[in-house]
Amino acid sequence: MNASEILFRPVTELAPLIKARKLSPVEVVRAFLERIEKVNPKVNAFLTVTADRALDQARQAEKDIAARRYRGPLHGIPYAPKDLIATAGVRTTNGSKVTSNWIPDYESTVTGRLNKAGAILIGKLNLLEFAMGSGQKGLAGPARNPWDLACSPSGSSSGSGAALAAGMAPLTLGSDTGGSIRGPAKSCGVVGLKPTYGRVSLHGVTALSWTLDHVGPMARTVTDVALMLQAIAGSDPNDRNAAAAPVPNYAKALNGGVKGLRLGVPSNYFFDHVHPETAAALHEAISRLKQLGVVQVEVQVRQPGLASSISPVILGAESAAFHQKRLREHADLLDSLVRERLEAGSFYSAVDYIKALRLRTLVMEEMRRVFETCDVLVLPAGNAAPKLEEEIVNTDAPTDPPRAPRPDTFNLANVAGIPALVLPCGFTAGPPSLPLGIQFCARPFDEATLFRVGHAYQSTTDWHKRTAPLNG
Amino acid sequence: MNRRRLIQSLACGATIGSGAGQVTSVLSLEALRNIAEAHGLRLGDERLRVLQPVLERRLPLLRTLREMEIDDRIAPTQGILK
């Protein structure tokens, strides 16, 4: 198999070849390293490439597999985490000048589990500074969208989405506090999962907001995302919020079919002001799922905008607490957007914060009620990727003319802690032709149902098989 | 005067205007400096200038949050509901 054949193949196809020793992990790692060398100067997705270490590990994997010590479907497969996930002995920058030389002496639980499963760290990925910056003034400038280099891959897991779309890695990790996995998945035409709060340990993931943060897998197919979640999910003595809930066999769940599954489509708020091209793609996807046997039910989410009102208070207060010392000592090194957000977060009172957490209870109770009437909730994942210069300006600031009203479809899942999956559902007519995404949410710890729906849909479409042109 | 009172009075005293269809509040640097000093923060003019526009934009949101009434039985939740 030549190198270019490896780059866009799903792990579910590479793994059996590696297991059968028809494909060497060394060939796989080399193919991705060459690709990174060739296209990263354009895309800027990787901040660090661990070439020597990756090749050493690939050689070791080759020996282990030859000696019948095959560890499973991730053995010999490269992966890359967002660069706020600690990797022992490998620089972890948080995308910030403040921590640009930090080399952790401990491993995050997620990367530790991927390493244990035999996956091979190939490098660390660009992001918005501390997952909250503009992407412009961070450590290395913005990552670019492989579908149009003048466009943003969205953030904050910008490199995680861009690396997948450009064929620089088959598996990546992102973090999501208000859509930071799902936005890049949508904008880059890949699959991203924000798991249930507590499903995946946050140990070793630099905090933005302890109670809204999630770390999750990204890949080009739903099956590959399921494989990754299988490896990283579960309780962890190093994170007391990591839940002891049993982790099901996701590979088995994938082929469960969707016949009779109740698909909730909100009749209020979430589909308002969606771009007509996006709306058409979403409705087409829903029709496709109905043909596969899902039953569409209309749902109404009461106070649908509440999550987006309370999220800034929770995030603002928690991030200001986390970064208090950095703000005091290194404010001059921070991106101005990070700085102003942290400064403002310091001004929320304890009463504001606790009130937001009480309102959060109401959001959770409302979602519990919604999921009594449906098994999966479908939401837009936003419109197509914006131009880079539109994304990197201060997104908080008023604009003239004012931005079109746009319902927030991401914060709901963070505030309620429910799992949410984004996958591609079409492309804009263009030029440039940009990916569009659809979002599914489910009950807490029911990622398996999301995988069933996502896989059923993806099995009948080819959006995930298209490759980005790297033009622009 | 405690911090909560200060921020509440600040919120009440802010002028509401509309520019380009968006509601904004107007804060003075002096007011911000007083608030900061009242809870033990001595912020220079540069930091206050960073803060000013952000807080101005967020005051309407905070005001809405504060005005929301919640049933006494509702306790705060982090993570997910058990």
**What's the length of chain A?**
472
Which pLDDT band, with edges at 50, 70 and 90, does A391 fall under?
A: low
What is the per-residue pLDDT across A143-156, written as a single tens digit (0 to 9) for each? 999 999 999 999 99
B79/A398 touch (CB, cutoff 8 Å), yes or no: no
Q: Inform me whether the pLDDT recorded for A220 exceeds 90.
A: yes
Contacts 24+ apart (CB under 8 A), A249-254: A250/A226, A250/A447, A250/A448, A250/A451, A251/A223, A251/A226, A251/A227, A253/A226, A253/A448, A253/A449, A253/A451, A253/A452, A254/A222, A254/A223, A254/A226, A254/A451, A254/A452, A254/A455
pLDDT score, position A81: 98
Q: Which of B35, B58, B73, B77 to mutate to test the interface with A (most CBs of A within 10 A)?
A: B77
Half-sphere exposure of A368 (CA within 13 A, CB side): 9
pLDDT score, position B7: 44
Place of tokens 């405690």: B2
A211/B78 touch (CB, cutoff 8 Å), yes or no: yes
CB A454 within 8 A of CB A256: no
Q: Using a CB-CB distance cutoff of 8 angstroms, which residues of chain B are in contact with residue A342?
A: none
Q: Is residue A471 part of a domain?
A: no
Q: Inform me whether the pLDDT recorded for A277 exceeds 60.
A: yes
Q: Is residue A315 part of a domain?
A: yes
Q: Is residue A439 part of a domain?
A: yes
pLDDT score, position A95: 96
Q: Is residue B77 part of a domain?
A: no
pLDDT score, position A337: 84
> pLDDT: is A443 or B55 the higher one?
A443
Q: Inform me whether the pLDDT recorded for A49 exceeds 60.
A: yes
Q: Inform me whether the pLDDT recorded for B12 exceeds 70.
A: no
How many Å lie between the alpha carbon of A61 and the closest alpha carbon of chain B?
38
pLDDT score, position A453: 98
A241: nearest CB among B20, B65, B79: B79
Q: Is residue B78 part of a domain?
A: no
A344/B68 touch (CB, cutoff 8 Å), yes or no: no
Q: Is residue A2 part of a domain?
A: no
Nearest alpha-carbon partner for A307 in A416, A209, A227: A416
Which pLDDT band, with edges at 50, 70 and 90, does B33 fall under?
A: confident
Half-sphere exposure of A64 (CA within 13 A, CB side): 19
Mean pLDDT of all residues in A194-204 = 98
Q: Inform me whether the pLDDT recorded for B21 exceeds 50.
A: no
Which pLDDT band, with edges at 50, 70 and 90, does B80 fall under?
A: confident
As a whole number of angstroms, the distance between CA A395 and CA A352 comes to 23
Mean pLDDT of all residues in A26-46 = 98
Q: Is residue B79 part of a domain?
A: no
Q: Is residue A3 part of a domain?
A: no
Q: Is residue A13 part of a domain?
A: no
Residue B78 in contact with partner chain A when CB distance is under 8 A: yes
Mean pLDDT of all residues in A300-325 = 94
A198/B4 touch (CB, cutoff 8 Å), yes or no: no
What is the per-residue pLDDT across A322-350, written as a single tens digit (0 to 9) for each? 999 998 899 889 988 888 888 888 888 89
Number of domains in chain B: 1
How many Å lie between the alpha carbon of A253 and the closest alpha carbon of chain B?
23
Q: Beta-strand (E) ranges in A147-203?
A: 171-175, 191-194
User: What is the rounded average pLDDT for all residues in chain B?
Assistant: 69
pLDDT score, position A71: 98
Active site residue A180: yes
Q: For position A268, which CATH number holds? A: 3.90.1300.10
The tokens describing A434, both together, are: 């940009």
pLDDT score, position A403: 54
Mean pLDDT of all residues in A398-425 = 82
CB A360 within 8 A of CB A415: yes
pLDDT score, position A351: 93
Mean pLDDT of all residues in A250-254 = 94
B70/A196 touch (CB, cutoff 8 Å), yes or no: no
> pLDDT: is A402 or A251 the higher one?
A251
Active site residue A287: no
A309/B61 touch (CB, cutoff 8 Å), yes or no: yes
Element housing B6 (H / E): helix B3-13
Half-sphere exposure of A279 (CA within 13 A, CB side): 7
pLDDT score, position A133: 80
- Give percent of chain B with pLDDT exceeding 90: 9
Q: Using a CB-CB distance cutoff of 8 angstroms, which residues of chain B are in contact with residue A339?
A: 50
Mean pLDDT of all residues in A21-44 = 98
As a whole number of angstroms, the distance between CA A20 and CA A349 comes to 60
- Residue A127's domain spans which residues? 18-465
pLDDT score, position B43: 77
Residue B12 in contact with partner chain A when CB distance is under 8 A: no
pLDDT score, position A387: 83
The single residue of A108, A134, A156, A175 carrying the catalytic annotation is: A156
Which pLDDT band, with edges at 50, 70 and 90, does A380 fall under?
A: very high
Which pLDDT band, with edges at 50, 70 and 90, does B9 fall under?
A: very low
Please give the ipTM for the structure prediction.
Answer: 0.81
pLDDT score, position B23: 45
Measured between alpha carbons, how far is residue A315 from residues A1, A338, A346, A355, B76 in Å? 47, 12, 11, 13, 15
pLDDT score, position B10: 41
User: What is the rounded average pLDDT for all residues in chain A?
Assistant: 94
Q: Inform me whether the pLDDT recorded for A157 exceeds 50.
A: yes
Which pLDDT band, with edges at 50, 70 and 90, does B49 fall under?
A: confident
- Residue B36's domain spans which residues? 3-65
Helix (H/G/I), strand (E/B), else coil: B24:
strand
A355/B66 touch (CB, cutoff 8 Å), yes or no: yes
How many Å lie between the alpha carbon of B21 and the closest alpha carbon of chain A?
7
Number of domains in chain A: 1
pLDDT score, position B36: 77
DSSP, res A189: T
Q: Which of B51, B78, B82 to mutate to test the interface with A (most CBs of A within 10 A)?
A: B78
- Give percent of chain A with pLDDT exceeding 90: 86
- Over the range A71-99, which residues count as b (16 or more CB within 10 Å of their CB) and which as e? bebbbbbbbbbbbbbbbeebbbbbbbbbb
